[in-house]
Structure 1
Amino acid sequence: MITFAAVSILAAVTLATPSGAATTGAQPAVAPLRYVALGDSYSAASGNLPPDPAAAPECLRSTVNYPHVIAARTGALLTDVSCGGAETKDYFTAQYQGVARQLDAVPSSTQLVTMTIGGNDSGVFVNAITDCGTAGLSTLGQGSPCQDKYGSSFHDTITGTTYPALVKALTAVHAAAPHARIAILSYPWIMPKSGGCFPQMPVATGDVPYLRGIQATLNDAVRRAATATGSIYVDFNAVSEGHDACQAIGTRWVEPVLAGTNPVIVHPNALGEAQLAARTMSVLHLSGR
């Protein structure tokens, strides 16, 4: 197994020979993995403390985000430009004034790139959560008002708009870092399969499978884009089951709208980011120090 942990060791070993002479052998140092982290608020761990002092305030990036956890565990040399609210277009143009396009952080010498991206494109997934929450409040958690109103519109936007945007972004990352392993993560489950937890997550009972289905469509778009571009897909569909925003503190990886611990609602907590890091390291066969 190839070890990507950065080890800086120069060992001088003196061996006595029968004639009393000595020889010195040196073990060459292993250079740290050159790692660039891109992506949105799930990459940035927006809302978690402590904030990353190297980040623009608008990005709400935390030092407990999964890129920092991976770098700490492997000794990688990390360049982290993940930023809350990022869309795939922000790989190509500046997201905020003074915040460069994310691709500018990817030199050709990069060895590893990770990202979570796509959920903000066209506002579709963000809007689905907001719109379904608003609809759920209007019926006090009864029925399926969100599905009744929006039907297949969210799914259609993800398939028709988000998917090709993901392919374009991943293709550009490969062009910028042609020798790097490039990994894109799916989004951990926000809702359980059924039931829900109104009002902590203000989604009507009948809309819980509908909202989860929208997320499944998004994760499948991420998977297909990874396949189409020769990228590595880090799948969280199985491992995040039972860790959605409706679970108790210490079990959930994503915080709910009400009574949560993260001021940036419906986003991973520190435990979730640690689990994103662990799963990514497993898929990429990265060894810890």
Structure 2
Amino acid sequence: MGVGVAGSATAKVTPPTANPHAIKTSPYVALGDSYSSAAGVAPFVATAPPTCSRSALNFAHDIAAMTKPSSFTDVTCSGARTSDFFSSQAPGVAPQLDAVTKDTRLVTMTIGGNDEGVFVNSFFGCATVSASDVTGNPCQQRYGTTFTDQITNQTYPHLVAALTAVRKKAPAATVVIVGYPRILPSTGVLSCYPSMPIAMGDVPWLAHEEDVLNDAVRRAASKTGARFIDMSASSLGHDACAPVGQRWIEPAVGPINAFPVHPNAMGEAAMAAQTLLQLGH
């Protein structure tokens, strides 16, 4: 694994178009939301604000364990939006961009899923209306293109602004934004309904919404010179409807060592592995 590690005193400028084997991994700063913090996955980082639910098994810690940077700073926080890069998310939680400096050489994150409340309002909101028509698509009928429109018209420019700000603070860094792993299978599975109470017809609709979000993340990365890590292929078959030991996302009902509808430790490890693989390490 040809990982170049350099301290802040000796780090060389590595533009995002450089040979991937030349990517410097130190100083390393981890930003992002609950998919980055590994919300609900014990053990937790004792020094982190409790509201952030920051796990010692999140994908940034996995990357750091493999690349051994001389400097590693993790400010990931559950519930973070792109706006929390710029302002305090909660008392005792500094703006995430405060952790990024001109010496930073690697930045990783997942971000965007909480913007406009799209994630909560769709995945958890749909669970409240699905019981009215388990085999139909009651959530799609209620919301139509509301969520995908919000992603395209609001989340996308927010992502561009956030990534641009990271690039401005750390112009020599490799800035990495990881796509969200598959939460649901492509079609409804009735046996999964008790643990993921989403109506069968709404499953492909929500899967499409996640595709739209990941495409917004990809386009924002392309526009700002960041690296997009695509999780769609590798996470196929590892969604919240997969059995224990195979799933990377825990279900809404009865999650094991993770917040509902969030990555477990296996999922975080897979995100780390894909990040290093797609960066060429």
Output the TM-score relative to the length of structure 2.
Answer: 0.90
Out of 121, 125, 128, the position equivalent to 1:134 is: 128
Instruction: Report the Cα offset of residue 233 of structure 1.
Output: 0.4
Query: Contact conserved, 2:240 with 2:250, CA < 8 A, in 1?
Result: yes
Percent identity, aligned pairs only, is: 53
Deviation by residue 1:183-240 (Cα, 9 ceiling, x = unmatched): 0000000000002320210000011000101111100000000001011000011111
The structure having more radius of gyration, on CA atoms, is 1
Does residue 47 of the first structure (1) align with residue 56 of the second (2)?
no
What SS does the corresponding residue of 1:49 show, helix, strand or coil?
coil
What SS does the corresponding residue of 2:28 show, helix, strand or coil?
strand
**Partner residue of 1:3?**
3
**Partner residue of 1:106?**
100
The 5-angstrom pairing of residues 6-45 of structure 1 reads 33-45=26-38
Query: Contact conserved, 2:258 with 2:264, CA < 8 A, in 1?
Result: no
Is there any run of 5+ residues in structure 2 with no aligned partner, and where?
8-23
**Partner residue of 2:113?**
119
Instruction: Report the Cα offset of residue 263 of structure 1.
Output: 5.0
Q: Hey, what's the Cα distance between the residues in 1 that align with 2:111 and 2:119?
A: 11
**Partner residue of 2:76?**
82
Counterpart residue type for residue 53 of structure 2 = L
Deviation by residue 1:33-82 (Cα, 9 ceiling, x = unmatched): 21000000000000000011121000000000000010011101210000
Out of 238, 241, 263, the position equivalent to 2:236 is: 241
Q: Hey, what's the Cα distance between the residues in 2 that align with 1:69 and 1:115?
A: 13
Q: Hey, what's the Cα distance between the residues in 2 that align with 1:276 and 1:54?
A: 24
Query: Contact conserved, 1:245 with 1:256, CA < 8 A, in 2?
Result: yes
State the 4+ residue runs in structure 1 displaced beyond 4 angstroms.
Answer: none
**Partner residue of 2:216?**
221
Instruction: Report the Cα offset of residue 6 of structure 1.
Output: 7.1
Q: Hey, what's the Cα distance between the residues in 1 that align with 2:280 and 2:65?
A: 15
Deviation by residue 1:251-277 (Cα, 9 ceiling, x = unmatched): 100000113203510000000000000
What SS does the corresponding residue of 1:221 show, helix, strand or coil?
helix
Query: Contact conserved, 2:179 with 2:228, CA < 8 A, in 1?
Result: yes
Q: Hey, what's the Cα distance between the residues in 2 that align with 1:209 and 1:272?
A: 21
Q: Hey, what's the Cα distance between the residues in 2 that align with 1:63 and 1:6?
A: 23
Instruction: Report the Cα offset of residue 136 of structure 1.
Output: 1.1
Counterpart residue type for residue 206 of structure 2 = L
Q: Hey, what's the Cα distance between the residues in 2 that align with 1:3 and 1:256?
A: 35
How many residue pairs get matched?
262
- Larger RCO (CA under 8 A, 6+ residues apart): 2
Q: Hey, what's the Cα distance between the residues in 2 that align with 1:142 and 1:68?
A: 41
Counterpart residue type for residue 43 of structure 2 = P
RMSD across aligned positions (CA): 1.5
Does residue 232 of the first structure (1) align with residue 227 of the second (2)?
yes
What SS does the corresponding residue of 1:184 show, helix, strand or coil?
strand
Q: Hey, what's the Cα distance between the residues in 2 that align with 1:155 and 1:71?
A: 34
Output the TM-score relative to the length of structure 1.
Answer: 0.88
Counterpart residue type for residue 3 of structure 2 = T
Deviation by residue 1:138-177 (Cα, 9 ceiling, x = unmatched): 33x2210000100000010000000000000000000000
Q: Hey, what's the Cα distance between the residues in 2 that align with 1:95 and 1:188?
A: 24
Deviates more, 1:197-206 or 1:253-262: 253-262
Query: Contact conserved, 1:4 with 1:32, CA < 8 A, in 2?
Result: yes
Instruction: Report the Cα offset of residue 2 of structure 1.
Output: 4.8
Does residue 204 of the first structure (1) align with residue 194 of the second (2)?
no
